Amino acid sequence: MGRQRNQSSAGRRRVSGTCTTNRRSRAAIRDLRDQLYEIVKRHEPMTCRQTFYQAVNRKLIEKSEGEYRRTICRLLLAMRRDGQLPYRWITDGTRYMHKPDTHESLASALQETQEHYRRMVWAEQNVHVEVWTEKRGLVGVLYPVTSRWDVPLYPSAGFASETFLAEAADYITSLDKPTYIYHFGDHDPSGVLIDRQIERGLRRMAPDAEIHFERVAVTREQIEQYDLPTRPTKRKGNTHAKRFKGESVEVDAIEPDELRRLCEECITQHVDQDAYERMLRVEAAERKTLADIQDSLVMGI
C-alpha cells in the first residue's frame, strides 16, 4: 500500500510530464504557459533566467531557485518541444558550434558574399566601441544590437582570463584611437569586481591606449529605478562578499528590451552620422558590384 501511495503522489505532482509541482492544477499550468508565451514574444530573444525574472515581476511565480528550475526551465522546454514557443526565441549564448566557412561552388560563395557583405562601420569613425558582459548567456540578448552596429561583444564568463584580456588589449592598441568600453554585469560580490578587473587588466596591457570604461548595468540606481527583484547574497565561503553590502541583483532581472536599449544608446552616441551614411552608400555600390560578378559567372561570361 505504501508503494501505491507514493506512485499516486508522484502522479499528482506531474503535469503533462513537464512540471513536478503539486501547487498548480492543469488549468493553472496552461494559463502560466500562455503568460510565459506572451512574455517571451514581447521581449525575444531572451534567456530562461530573464523569463524567470519577468514572471516574478508579474507575480506569476515565487522568487526561488526551485521555481526557476522546476517551473520556468521545464515549462519553456516543454513549450518549445510542443511547438508552442519557437526555439529561436530562447537564447543560449554559452554554447557554440565551430566550423569553417565552406561553399558548394565559387558561384555560391559569391552569392553568399554579396548577400552578407558589410563594410566596417568604425573604420572611418574617430573612436572604437566595445561591449563586455560577464555572462555568456547574455550574448544572445545583446548581439542583435552589437551586430547591427558592428561592435565587438566580449563575454568574459566571470573574471576574464589573462589570455582573453591580452588579446583584447592587443586589438585596442592596434587601432590607435580612443576606445569606449561598456560593461553589463551582476550586482553581487563578484559582479562588482569583474568590471574593475577587466578595466585594470586592459589598462595594464594597453598602457598607451586611450580607454574610457563604464559600467552600464547593474547599478545601485537601476535597482531602485526598475524595482529589480533581489536575491540573498551568498556569503558563506565567498571572500568577495566581505565588503559587499546588501542583497544581490542579476543583470538578467532587467528587461531584455531595456538592456538592448541601453546597449544601443551607449553605441550610437559615438556614431558620426555623416561618415556612417557615406559608408552605407559605398557598401550598397560594392554589393551591387559583387552581384554583377556573380551574375557574370553564372552566365559563363
- 83-135 confidence digits (pLDDT tens): 999 999 998 877 777 888 898 888 888 888 888 899 999 999 999 999 999 99
- The per-residue pLDDT for 13 is 37
For 1, the 3-state DSSP assignment is coil
- 133-151 confidence digits (pLDDT tens): 999 989 999 999 999 999 9
pTM here is 0.80
- The per-residue pLDDT for 69 is 92
pLDDT greater than 60 at residue 232: yes
- The per-residue pLDDT for 14 is 38
Cα pseudo-dihedral 216, 65, 143, 158, rounded to 10: 60
Task: Pick the range with the lowest mean pLDDT from 19-28, 35-44, 240-249.
Answer: 19-28
Element (H, E) at 184: strand 179-184
- The per-residue pLDDT for 5 is 41
| All three cell numbers of 285 | 555600390
- 39-69 confidence digits (pLDDT tens): 999 999 999 999 999 999 999 999 999 999 9
**Buried-exposed string 130-149: b where 16+ CB fall within 10 A, e elsewhere:** bbbbbbbbbbbbbbebbeeb
**According to DSSP H, which parts of the chain are helical?**
2-13, 26-43, 48-57, 65-66, 74-81, 106-116, 139-148, 162-175, 191-205, 220-225, 256-268, 273-299
Asked if 45 and 88 touch (Cβ cutoff 8 Å), the reply is yes
- 160-169 confidence digits (pLDDT tens): 999 999 999 9
- The per-residue pLDDT for 19 is 42
pLDDT greater than 90 at residue 33: yes
> What is the overall mean pLDDT for the chain?
89
- 189-205 confidence digits (pLDDT tens): 999 999 999 999 999 99
User: Is the previous residue joined to 45 through a cis bond, with omega within 30 degrees of 0?
Assistant: yes
pLDDT greater than 60 at residue 238: yes
| All three cell numbers of 180 | 569606449
Residue 246 to residue 224: CA distance in whole angstroms: 13
| Residue 301's pLDDT band (cuts 50, 70, 90) | low
- The per-residue pLDDT for 17 is 38
pLDDT greater than 50 at residue 286: yes
